[in-house]
Structure 1
Amino acid sequence: MSYVVAALIVTNVLTLLNLLLLFGVIRRLREQPAPPPGGLLGRPSLPVGAQIEAFSTVDVDGLPLRRDELPEGAVVGFFSPGCAPCEALIPKFVAHAEGVPGGRESVLAVITGFPDEAAGYVARLSPVARVVVEGREGADVVRAFQVSEFPQVFQLDGDGRVLVSDGSLDRLAVPAA
C-alpha cells in the first residue's frame, strides 16, 4: 500500500512541476512580438520580374501615393520598429537614398506599426524618402509587395515590376554619381 501512496505523491509532484513549466512557456509566448501585418508570415516577398499589385495610400506628409506614381529605378524599403536588422539597415538605406537619381520622389520607405512606434524611423527616413506608416491592419503597400519579413528592399522598373528583391542593399543598382 505504501508503494501506491508514494507513486501517487511522485505523480502529483511531477504534474505540478509540469504545470509550472507550462505557465512559464505561455508567459514567454505572450512576450513575443505580433506577426507581420496582414497575416503574411511565411509568404515570400515578390521575386524579380513580378508585377507589384496596385495600391493607393497616403504618406506622412498627407500626399496621396499610388503604385503607378513610382518612377523607373524607384527604391522601396520596408521596416518595422523593434526589428534589430531594420535598425542596422536604416543608416545604409539613408546613405543609399541620398544618391538615388530623382531624390526623395524616387525612394519610398514603408514602416509597419503604430505611429508612436514609427516616429523615430519617420524622423530618420523623411529627409531622403517619402514615408508611409501602415498600421498592423490595412497594410496595403506591404500586401502589394507581399512582404513577409523585415527589412526588405526592392528596386522597380518604370512599369511596377521588381528589378531587385533583397533583405539588404547589396544587389541594388549603385546610384549614379
Structure 2
Amino acid sequence: MTYVVVALVVTNVLTLLNLLLLLGVIRRLREQPVPPHGDHPADDGLPVGTQVEAFETTDVDGQAVRGDELPAEAIVGFFSPGCGPCEALLPKFVAHSEALPGGRESALAVVVGTPDEAADYVVRLSRVARVVVEDSPGAAVGHAFRVSGYPTVFQLDGDGTVVFSGASLERLPVPAE
C-alpha cells in the first residue's frame, strides 16, 4: 500500500513538472516573431543577382521551354496545389501577368504536383502564362531556380539574372511598355 501511495505522489510530481515545462515552452514560442502569411525564408531559391541555370522542359501546350529563351523582365512563379499562400498569391500573379507587355510569353508558371492536382491551377494560369507542371520540386525548372518553398516568384533581366525574388508581388514593379 505504501508503494502505491509513493508511486502516485511521484507520478503527480512528474506530471506537474512536465506541465510547468510545457507552459514555459509555449510562452517562449509565443515570443518568437511570426513571418507574414505566405512568407518563407529569404534564402529560398536563387538570390537576386544570380544567373539562372540552363534548363529545358515542355509546357502544358507541348511547347519547349528553355531558360535562355525567357524574355527580359519575365516573371516566373512557382505554385503547389493545396498550399494556402499559393492560393492567395495566384490571383495577384494572374493580374500582374496580364499587365506584362509581352503577354503570356513574359510569364512562366510552374505548378509542382501531379497532373490531376495541378489541373485547376493550369486552367487558371494558362491564359496569362506559359504553364509547366513538374511532379517534384527538384525537376528541371525547380532545380534551375533552387526552389523548395511555395509560392516563390522571380523576375529576370534579359540575361537570365534574377532581379527580384520573393513570396509576394508587392515590391515587384509592372514593367513599362
Asked if TM exceeds 0.5, the reply is yes
The separation in 2 between residues aligned to 1:110 and 1:125, in whole angstroms, is 10
Aligned-pair distance for 1:102? 1.0
Aligned-pair distance for 1:49? 0.3
Give yes or no for contact 1:78–1:110 (8 Å, CA) kept in 2. Answer: yes
Q: Where do residues 28-177 of structure 1 align in structure 2 (5 Å cutoff)?
A: 44-136=44-136, 138-176=138-176
The separation in 1 between residues aligned to 2:89 and 2:169, in whole angstroms, is 8
Corresponding letter in the other structure for 1:128: V
TM-score, with normalisation over the residues of structure 2?
0.76
Deviations 1:75-132 (A, max 9, x none): 1001110111111111111111011111111100000011111100000000000000
The separation in 1 between residues aligned to 2:114 and 2:128, in whole angstroms, is 21
The separation in 1 between residues aligned to 2:101 and 2:113, in whole angstroms, is 29
What residue ranges of structure 1 are gaps of 5+ in the alignment? 15-40
Aligned length: 152
Give yes or no for contact 2:137–2:143 (8 Å, CA) kept in 1. Answer: no
Cα RMSD, aligned residues only: 2.5
CA pair 137-77 structure 1, distance change in 2 beyond 3 A? closer
Give yes or no for contact 1:155–1:163 (8 Å, CA) kept in 2. Answer: yes
Deviations 1:38-93 (A, max 9, x none): xxx99622111011111111100111111101011111001110111111111111
CA pair 131-174 structure 1, distance change in 2 beyond 3 A? same
What residue ranges of structure 2 are gaps of 5+ in the alignment? 15-40
Give yes or no for contact 2:53–2:145 (8 Å, CA) kept in 1. Answer: yes
TM-score, with normalisation over the residues of structure 1?
0.76
Give yes or no for contact 1:43–1:147 (8 Å, CA) kept in 2. Answer: no
CA pair 170-108 structure 1, distance change in 2 beyond 3 A? same
Deviations 1:121-164 (A, max 9, x none): 00000000000000026522111111121111110011110011
Give yes or no for contact 1:48–1:164 (8 Å, CA) kept in 2. Answer: yes
The separation in 2 between residues aligned to 1:173 and 1:55, in whole angstroms, is 26
Give yes or no for contact 2:55–2:66 (8 Å, CA) kept in 1. Answer: yes
Runs of at least 4 residues of structure 1 off by over 3 A?
Answer: 5-12
